[in-house]
Amino acid sequence: AQRVTQPEKLLSVFKGAPVELKCNYSYSGSPELFWYVQYSRQRLQLLLRHISRESIKGFTADLNKGETSFHLKKPFAQEEDSAMYYCALSRGSTLGRLYFGRGTQLTVWP
Amino acid sequence: NAGVTQTPKFQVLKTGQSMTLQCAQDMNHEYMSWYRQDPGMGLRLIHYSVGAGITDQGEVPNGYNVSRSTTEDFPLRLLSAAPSQTSVYFCASSSGLREQYFGPGTRLTVT
């Protein structure tokens, strides 16, 4: 079975501070990991995926297979980063199906 | 392209009523899913489809039915609404391992 855990329901930081949103997963195979973001009252949208190894809006995430983690990081948080962030996992055997964590609500204070 | 569209945006139902939430996509994606979003629970998969005529259950399928007669449409039916089905419902589509595209959501209240 697979499971995605986001241990922090709420996370608050001040503008300019570093931020790290944690995501741990359990899956015996080779998963593909994603971070989705949902700004207030908007639809979910993809922020980044591990296979792309890119930085979007200053965010990065590295897949650590040893620790089974995919933490999302940004060195200097901005107020517009305030949103709900979801970590999600995809299995090769069930294409098109995502397994989501419970989400972390990030608030960046001015 | 309109992407993924959902109707209605808001709906209030009485317990026991039935209704259909509509979802359509114009990206020719083979995979489509329905999720419900509840505070503290994240997104939970209700049903999904890997192509026209093929559907399967997700984590929380009870009380919901789906069908996929065309590639574009994937309606979700509530058979007999219950207050526990008060939620925000999102439809999504994708072409396999690539990004899932989400609709704007339907906010449903069951009284």
Q: What is the pLDDT along chain B (111 residues), one digit of tens a residue?
A: 779 999 999 999 999 999 999 999 999 999 999 999 998 888 999 999 999 999 999 999 999 999 999 999 999 999 999 999 999 999 999 986 668 899 999 999 999
Provide the number of CB pairs (under 8 Å) joining chain A to chain B: 55
CB neighbours of B90 closer than 8 A, spacing ≥ 6? A43, A44, B6, B34, B35, B36, B37, B43, B102, B103, B105
Q: Is A1 on the interface with B (CB under 8 A)?
A: no
pLDDT in tens, A43-98: 999 999 887 778 889 999 988 888 899 999 999 999 999 999 999 998 866 667 88
The answer to whether A13 touches A77, Cβ cutoff 8 Å, is: yes
Measured between beta carbons, which residues in chain B are less than 8 angstroms from residue A46?
Answer: 99-100
Nearest to B59 by CA among A24, A43, A4, A63: A4
Q: Is B61 on the interface with A (CB under 8 A)?
A: no
Hey, is B68 helix, strand or coil?
Answer: coil
For tokens 């700004």, name the residue. A39
In angstroms, the CA A108 to CA B70 distance is: 43
A residues 60..99 contacting B (CB < 8 A): 86, 90, 92, 95-99
Q: Is B103 on the interface with A (CB under 8 A)?
A: yes
